[in-house]
Each structure stands twice: as C-alpha cells, then as structure tokens.
Amino acid sequence: MRKTTMDEMTEKEKAARGLLYNASYDKELIDERAYCKALCYEYNQLHPAKIVERTALIQKLFGKTGGSFLIEPPFICDYGYNIEIGSNFYANHNCIILDEAKVVFGDNVMIAPNCGFYTAGHPLDAERRNAGLEYAYPIKVGGNVWIGGNVVVLPGITIGDSTVIGAGSVVTKDIPSGVVAAGNPCRVIREISDEDKKF
C-alpha cells in the first residue's frame, strides 16, 4: 500500500496528523470555521431560558456530547466537530476552545470562567508563521476535573482524572491524576487525599 505524500494531503489531513498545515488560505477550513462561528453566534444570542435550543445547538456543533451539560454563553470554538464532552459537563462564561485538533473532556468536568483550551500553535520561524502555517495537537481532560478561572491549556496537554487546576494557571505540560496543580507554568502542588473530604 502506497503512503500518501505531503503534497497529496489536504490541509485538514495534515492538521489531523499533527503536521504543519495552512489554515489561513485553505477554503475547506475557512468554510468550516465560518459555519462554526455562525452556530456560536446563534448560540450566544439565545435567551438564557431557552435551554432546549441551547442544548440542541451544542449537540449540532460538537463531535460528541454525553448526558447532561451546560455551557454558559458566550462560548467560542473554531470547528466544533473536534470537541467531545462527557456527561455532567459544565463550562462557565467566556470559554474558548480552539479545536484545530481533538479536545476531549471526561465526565463530571467543571470549568470556571474565562478559560481557554488551545490546540493550535505556530512556528517560531517568522517566515513560516507569516505564510499561514500552524500545527495542532490534541488536548485531553480526564473525568472529575475542576479547572479554575482564567486557566489556559496549551497544545498537546493531558490532564488526568480527579485533578484540580488552580485559577490563573498556564498548563504547559501534562498533569497527572489526583493532584492539585497551579501556577505559570502549571506544576503539581500536592496530591488530593482523604483529608480533603473533611473540607
């Protein structure tokens, strides 16, 4: 079986493989982003009482949704179909997900206001960056995770189950399960223990 060369791949296929691709001038990706932005705009204009309509729009937008979920507007993403959420998912206001690659959340995830999940990055070399090239690495957030306000999660990061990320953190490396982590760059502070059940 012959391997597909870089020249034969679409920009979308390159992105899915973690290769440099051009999102700025590729019609397929531009059209997909425009469709997504229109759905996000529609979602963000809905009256807060229109829960059924809000739920239906997110289900139309995302690649996968679990059981119950609530995402407070305004919410913004780039493609939508790369986002998967588990059951009992909650995202507070001003959540931004740049889902050029997969962004997967487990069950029982809580996200505080003003958080960003960015799968997209750009070359350090200015010439390639100015040519519109970028890369995208997936983000995975485990189950039973609480993410504090104003947290930024960078491309390629995995956050383990039952972990808490402190407010204002910039997550630049993987964070294991069952810990409290915070800071810029985000680092493990301590494990979560049975003592925490008393608080």
- C-alpha 130/C-alpha 161 separation (Å) is 38
153: Cα within 13 Å, side-chain hemisphere? 31
Catalytic residue among 37, 93, 122, 187: 122
Q: How far apart are CA 1 and CA 106, in angstroms?
A: 36
- Lookup: tokens for 184: 């810029």
47 is an active site residue? no
Paired tokens of 138: 């997936």
Is residue 183 classed exposed, middle or buried when 0-12, 13-18 and 19+ CB atoms within 10 A define those classes? Answer: middle
What is the CA 150 to chain-centroid distance, rounded? 14
Residues 160/147, Cβ–Cβ less than 8 Å: no
- Three-state SS letters, 48-67: CCCHHHHHHHHHHHCCEECC
What's CA 173's distance to the chain center, in Å?
A: 15
Catalytic machinery residues? 122
